[in-house]
Amino acid sequence: MNADIARALIAEAKRIVVLTGAGISAESGVPTFRGPGGLWKSFRPEELATPEAFARNPCLVWEWYAWRRSLVAECQPNAGHIALARLALELPGRTTIVTQNVDGLHHRAARAVAGRADSAPAYPLEVHGAIHRDRCSGCGRVSDGVTDVDPTSVETLPACVKCGAMLRPDVVWFGEALDPAVIGAAFDAARVADLCLVVGTSALVYPAASVPEVTLQAGGAVIEVNLEATSLSRLARVSLRGEAGKLVPTLID
Pick one of ligand BJW, Zn ion, none as the site partner of residue 162 (Cβ within 5 to 8 A by kind): Zn ion
Identity of the amino acid at 73? A
Closest CA to 80 of 228, 224, 212, 247: 247
Q: How far is the CB of 14 from ligand BJW (least distance, A)?
A: 26
Residues constituting the chain: 253
Q: How far is the CB of 103 from Zn ion (least distance, A)?
A: 25
Q: How far is the CB of 32 from ligand BJW (least distance, A)?
A: 4
Closest CA to 106 of 143, 141, 73, 77: 77
Residue closer to ligand BJW by CB (options 59, 192) is 59
Residue closer to ligand BJW by CB (options 101, 215) is 101
DSSP code, position 166: B
Tell me how far the alpha carbon of residue 79 is from its chain's centroid: 16
From start to end of the chain, where are the E strands?
Answer: 16-20, 95-99, 125-126, 129-136, 142-144, 167-171, 195-199, 221-226, 238-241
What residue is closest to ligand BJW based on CB? 23
Q: How far is the CB of 170 from Zn ion (least distance, A)?
A: 13
Pick one of Zn ion, ligand BJW, none as the site partner of residue 10 (Cβ within 5 to 8 A by kind): none
The 8 Å CB, 24+ separation contacts for 149-153 are 149/62, 149/65, 149/66, 149/69, 151/59, 151/60, 151/62, 151/63, 151/66, 152/59, 153/59
Residue closer to ligand BJW by CB (options 2, 161) is 2
Q: Which of 81, 106, 107, 128 is catalytic?
A: 128
Pick one of Zn ion, ligand BJW, none as the site partner of residue 136 (Cβ within 5 to 8 A by kind): Zn ion
Pick one of Zn ion, ligand BJW, none as the site partner of residue 138 (Cβ within 5 to 8 A by kind): Zn ion
Sign of the C-alpha dihedral, residues 73, 209, 189, 20? positive
Which residues make up the interface to Zn ion (CB under 5 A)? 136, 138-139, 141, 160, 162-163, 165
Residue closer to ligand BJW by CB (options 110, 172) is 172
Specify whether 107 is catalytic.
no
Identity of the amino acid at 74? E
Which residues make up the interface to ligand BJW (CB under 6 A)? 21-23, 26-27, 32-35, 38, 49, 100, 102, 128, 171-177, 200-202, 204-207, 225-228, 230, 243-244
Residue closer to ligand BJW by CB (options 13, 232) is 232
Q: Which residues are catalytic?
A: 128
